[in-house]
A and B are shown apart, each in its own frame.
Chain A
Amino acid sequence: MWRGLTQAGLLGVGATLLTGCQYQQLLTLGDMSSAYNREILWMSIPAIALSIIIFVGVSWALFYTVRKFREENNDAAPAQFHGNNRLETLLVAVPVVIVMLLSVLAVRTLARLNPVPQDAEKIDVLGKQFWWNFSYPGAPAAAGGNVTNGNEMVMSTGKWASLTITSGDVIHAFWAPNLGGQRDATPGTQKTWQIQTDRAGAYQGNCNVLCGASHANMRFKVVALPPDRYNTFLTAAQAYRAPTPAPGSAEERGYNLFMQGKPATGALACAACHRVQGTPAAGAAGPDLSFFGTRRTLGAGMWEAFTPQHWEAPQAAAELHAWIKNSPAQKPGSLMPPYDGSTYTLNGKTMKAGLLTDAEIDDIAAYLRSLRLPEEADYWRDVPVVGSNSTVAQGGNP
């Protein structure tokens, strides 16, 4: 009963562990920078106290009884009594009182947490197999549509972010443990959720309802920025138009492949599924790529590029290349078709993939890398990565 006694244990274990590492590295609902988690802690303290009392009391009673009355210690013929009405009434009444108390606690906390805060920043969340789009209904882009980013959500510190969550295919769930709570993304319906933190940082987010082969690879980052930097980001993102590549450059060749594909070898256009703000690319079947060059994660959190060279770093560049070339081979169940001419199965149908040369794939990568917000709007600049003891790129593994 009565609340995570394990959580109490965790606080102890956590305190010990914390001596060896920094608090901000803890990836957990114990992150007290979030108003949501603070509210839960307030609710939890009496509950944990009750849990400990009950756990200690009942297990003491159990072990005391077994010790005192085991045959080795008690060879008297046992009294054949059938119960004790007064005691039994008490043993029903006490849990009833505790349950009532806990109900009041839970409902009170719920009432404080569930209403949408008035000045909350609205963000629309769309989950699909196996990626996320975060768009800002209050921030229309000059180039049309709303500011949208794939797999990385930027929010302001100190202010509630009010999320409207939905799904484009199966059920997913949005969960960023440090920021408070989760909500399912259900197709055909929109649900709201609120998260908040006081501390700037990049936080881990997870899809939390089994959604298919790459459920474990449907992660996202929430980057919380101080209000002024957040505003800078949003203003720049609204004004943003994808840069026009220089004639004859690799980026330009990549741009052309991105927009038109290569019909001669059956390679589909990236633009059919992806949107890039300020270009004709307006596909909605895949994540938004408008700020791809600014992003530090690939494949919905499968790879991270936290070195100073970002996607130019050899390892990250190799990952990006492999990803474009054959995405399902890198990420199980990925719905992006391969570009290596292989045969692949999708939705029960076996198909032949289009073919791009390695040089062509590199051209597309070069174009993607060029899709960057201005330097001052780079939301990753000087942001600590919370919950991970490393800020360098992680080796992904298919």
Chain B
Amino acid sequence: MTVQPLPQTIAAPRRGAWEVIKDYMMTTDHKKIGLLYIMTSILAFGIGGILAVAIRLQLALPNETFLVGHLYNQVLTLHAAVMIFFFLIPIGLFGFGNFLLPLQLGVRDVALPRVNTFAVWLFIFSLILVITGLWNGGAPGVGWTFYYPLSVDANQTGVSVLMVALILNGIGSLLGSANFAATIINMRAPGMGLWKMPIFTWSIFATSLLQLVSLGGLTAAALVTYLEIKLGLSMFNPGIGGTPILMQQFFWFYSHPAVYVMLLPYLGIAAEIASTFARKPLFGYRVMVYSLLGIVLVSLLVWAHHMFAVGLPESWQIAFAVATLLVAVPTGVKIFNLIGTLWGGRILMKTPTYWLVGFIFNFLVGGITGVSLGMIPFDYQVTMSYYVVAHFHNVMMFGTAFLVFGGLAYWWPKMTGRFLDEKLGLWHFWLFMVGSWMTFLPQYILGLLGMPRRYYTYPAGNFGWTELNFISTLGALTLLAGGLVWVYNMLQSLRRPITASPNPWGGFTLEWTAASPPAPYNFAHEFPRNFPTERPLYDWEKNGEKLIPVDPKTIHLPQDSIWPFMTAFSLLLMGYGLSFGWFTNYTPAGGLQPFFSASPSHVFASVVLYLSIPLFLYSLFKWAGTREYAVPVEHHHLTKYDNGFMGMAWFILSEVGLFGVLIAGYVYLRISGHAEPPAMRPSIWLAALNTLILVSSSFVIHKAEQDHHHGRYTWFRLGLLITLLLGALFMIFQVYEFSLFGTESDWKQNLWQSCFFIIVGLHGLHILIGGTGVALPYYQALTGKMDKYNHGSTAPASLYWHLVDVVWLFIVAIFYAW
């Protein structure tokens, strides 16, 4: 896909299924990637929805036996995990985000298109990985919150695969977020300032930032849980002085902000719909952006409100309660400004408008009940009851998910070139509106009547329980009917011919200048460089400014490549191996056993694990060895940093978050006196030598970068080689030290040792990742892929290597010197 012919949509012959699939495997087109996210998410919504109906059927009447005990727990865990991690988080941020962000910015793709392909497939594969758990013992039954120690309970199933899938999904998610942030900083249409970006783009930027900062919490919780299951390494085990609550701190440090990841993109969608359908500018654009950023900030400071019933110190509880109530302020601003945007407009009442108005009304109620939960004494009563279930479905299911439907209806012509049927759309809306209230209003009352969440059964005769549960189930069936209408509507629409004009609703942002659906290169024109407000199309029409036509033949796009897909696929295999096997036949309870004495499924998974590593390296190096563009192109970016460096810089934020969370946990355990180092501990002298090695390597790679910059390619290659050798030397000392320490005392019995292996080991893994990263430009240099114009991946690799060094300095301080 180097030089584009005329728009393919004109006379594209019908392609075979394999052709289409191959296209989606290899594509770097942000629109196709966005559609992949959207389609996968809708599929996940279907799965999660059917599971929800199953739950409601079990609870329709007292003492039913449809889903009992562990089976019920598996269904509820999958329902929540699928809905959260594979529907609400990805469809807004990555589905709508990928499709629309470059279009709204007036550019041809995201900053790192191939990383984008890798991320979407990693996302899809993590869903597949969760599903493989079904025939490897079963799904997890621990709730999506996987609280410790239930997560390591010997009667549990499927926890390790959920942990691995969450980590893989998290990596994809972080790469996507870093990509968005880099795109926004580096690649806006010339003349578009940050404060002239469409509000949806702002919401994606805010959400990406939030993901990057907070996701480390979830990764840390999942990683430590996983390591305890596989190796007996624990930070939470109370038997050796660990703190189970620490797991909840890690978990909610991400999972509360995740609630806002499931909100902010949709607030952006709401604002776009309001502005377009009221035919007015946003009411208070700047205030809306500030409140987005305000929500990002405050949402990072409220996680402990999920843990009031734990019994944390009162000062903590009060601080978090006040912060929780405070979130109402920027959220309230959002609602007021949406109404303000509608005020005085000429409101076109189409399906998207109905979803918008429905959202505002429902979200108002969800917000009010949310504030009630921030009032601690009331929270003590209703947290973990059906009141909470109703509340979070109020803000998500019939809150933000309404804007998934609204947003899809709004951009459906842009995405497909067709329209959704208005009448069916309204049926869908009203079935969902009525169904939601029927399902969840009884649940609010059930909570106040004392019904706990996650109960698979309840006795007959409790006041009101039977009647309310029955109504709730009828509501769920209504929602199912609404969902079927929606799916039917979409499928019907796709059978109709393409009729949509570029701007069917009269929108004001740049995506409406592209064809519907857009050509692979997005725009066959350039834009005026004058952006007076966030509504360029309105301003340009008023000022008489015109788009400047461009010959599509002169447009170059990144070339397709199968290697990002293959790299992601190898990680699926690796994830499968890590979930159901291990490098050896080791279990914390049984110790090390002969490899082939393990169960056949364990042996199979372990073999897959070993095979996945060469496949991963092969695919990654092939990827690095394939140029992004088939012909030399001039990259333009708004800052002096190239896209690779910019993307890595944002990504590093997430690494800081991950190590920050883990180190904070360790420091807490150490200060509180739980984690005391054993008498025999790794010596500071070896660590000092390793510090010397690592710090020198940082200087070497910096010098290598300078050499490349000045065209001294031989010196450049030598610098990378020396960096790699120093890294290898470091690893050798580290492995020696680990082996020694592992035999000196038992990590299953010593909390400090456990923390040491987890955190220092994670750093060791980062050395391996960073080393692989440095090996890529070395390989590119050796195979002649680099010259004055092609910098390969030197800048991001070097930046990452510096990060690994800096983290090491912290580790020396807290594990060796302290």
Contacts and interface: CB of A to CB of B under 8 A. Distances in A.
B445 to A, nearest CB: 6
Interface string B367-397: 1111110111110111111010010000000
A361 interface: no
A381 interface: no
Contacts of A301: 459
Given A3-B371, A4-B372, A27-B463, A71 B244 contact: no
B293 to A, nearest CB: 14
Interface in B433-490: 441, 444-445, 448-450, 452, 454-464
A62 B455 contact: no
B329 A92 contact: yes
Given A21-B463, A91-B336, A29 B381 contact: yes
Nearest to B336: A91
Interface stretch (B81-89, B148-156, B553-561): B148-156
A82 B461 contact: no
Contacts of A178: 450
A234 interface: no
A191 B335 contact: no
Nearest to A68: B343
Contacts of A193: 311
Contact of A1 (B347, B367, B448, B449): B367
A309 interface: no
Interface string B311-342: 10010011001100110110011011101101
Contact of B382 (A17, A29, A110, A184): A29
A322 B333 CA distance: 60
Given A110-B314, A171-B150, A3 B463 contact: no
Interface in A208-248: 208-217
Interface in A52-92: 54-55, 58-59, 61-62, 65-66, 69-72, 74-84, 87-88, 91-92
B441 A6 contact: yes
B141 interface: yes
A270 to B, nearest CB: 22
A95 B377 contact: no
Contacts of A346: 155
Interface stretch (A43-51, A275-283, A365-373): A43-51
A318 interface: no
Contacts of B378: 3-4, 40, 43-44, 106
A106 B374 contact: yes
Interface size, A (range): 35 or more
A186 B279 CA distance: 55
Contacts of B343: 65, 69
Interface centre among B239, B325, B360, B370 (most CB of A within 10 A): B325
B325 A103 contact: yes
A167 to B, nearest CB: 9
B411 interface: no
Interface in A22-45: 25-30, 36-37, 39-40, 43-44
A333 B69 contact: yes
Given A91-B332, A182-B380, A387-B462, A65 B375 contact: no
Given A21-B463, A215-B73, A207 B452 contact: yes
Nearest to B674: A188
B806 interface: no
A76 B314 contact: no
Given A78-B279, A91-B333, A183 B454 contact: no
B450 A29 contact: yes
Contacts of B321: 103, 106-107
Contact of B375 (A76, A105, A175, A182): A105
A55 B279 CA distance: 27
A69 B318 contact: no
A55 to B, nearest CB: 6
Given A28-B449, A105-B375, A187 B461 contact: no
A81 to B, nearest CB: 7
B309 interface: yes
A15 B280 CA distance: 46
Given A102-B371, A186-B310, A397-B63, A6 B448 contact: yes
Contact of A213 (B69, B245, B332, B335): B69
B368 A95 contact: no
Contacts of B329: 92, 95-96, 99
Given A69-B346, A81-B281, A40 B377 contact: yes
Interface stretch (B282-290, B626-634, B685-693, B696-704): B282-290
A173 to B, nearest CB: 6
B673 interface: no
Interface centre among A6, A71, A184, A189 (most CB of B within 10 A): A6
A182 B147 contact: no
B348 A71 contact: yes
A113 B381 CA distance: 12
A211 B70 CA distance: 10
A214 B69 contact: yes
Nearest to B69: A332
Contacts of A181: 309, 377, 380-381
B213 interface: no
A58 B364 contact: yes
Interface string A282-294: 0000000000000
A82 B281 contact: yes
Given A78-B346, A186-B245, A109 B328 contact: no
Contacts of B148: 171
Nearest to A301: B459
B142 interface: yes
B287 A83 contact: yes
A27 B450 contact: yes
B155 A213 contact: yes
Contacts of A71: 346-349
B445 A6 contact: yes
B339 A10 contact: no
A342 interface: no
A138 interface: no
B416 interface: no
A283 B71 CA distance: 30
Contacts of A13: 445
Contacts of A192: 311
Contacts of A207: 452
Contacts of B583: none
A347 B317 CA distance: 37
A387 B339 CA distance: 43
Contact of B384 (A83, A173, A333): A173
B372 A2 contact: yes
Contacts of B458: 216
A349 B699 CA distance: 55
Given A40-B378, A204-B450, A26 B463 contact: yes
Interface stretch (A119-127, A252-260, A352-360, A388-396): A388-396
A7 interface: yes
Nearest to A90: B336
Interface centre among A1, A78, A82 (most CB of B within 10 A): A1
A117 interface: no
Contacts of B153: 169-170, 212
Contact of B282 (A82, A84, A210): A82
Interface centre among A10, A83, A169 (most CB of B within 10 A): A83
A59 B463 contact: no
A62 B361 contact: yes
Contacts of A347: 154-155
Given A186-B245, A397-B457, 20 more contacts: A3-B372, A27-B449, A40-B377, A40-B378, A51-B372, A58-B335, A62-B364, A77-B346, A83-B286, A95-B332, A96-B329, A182-B383, A188-B238, A188-B243, A189-B245, A210-B73, A215-B73, A332-B70, A333-B155, A346-B155
11 contacts: A10-B448, A26-B449, A65-B342, A71-B347, A74-B346, A76-B346, A88-B336, A106-B374, A210-B73, A387-B450, A388-B459
A-B complex: 7 closest residue pairs judged by Cβ atoms:
A188-B238, A332-B69, A177-B450, A347-B154, A181-B380, A397-B63, A213-B69
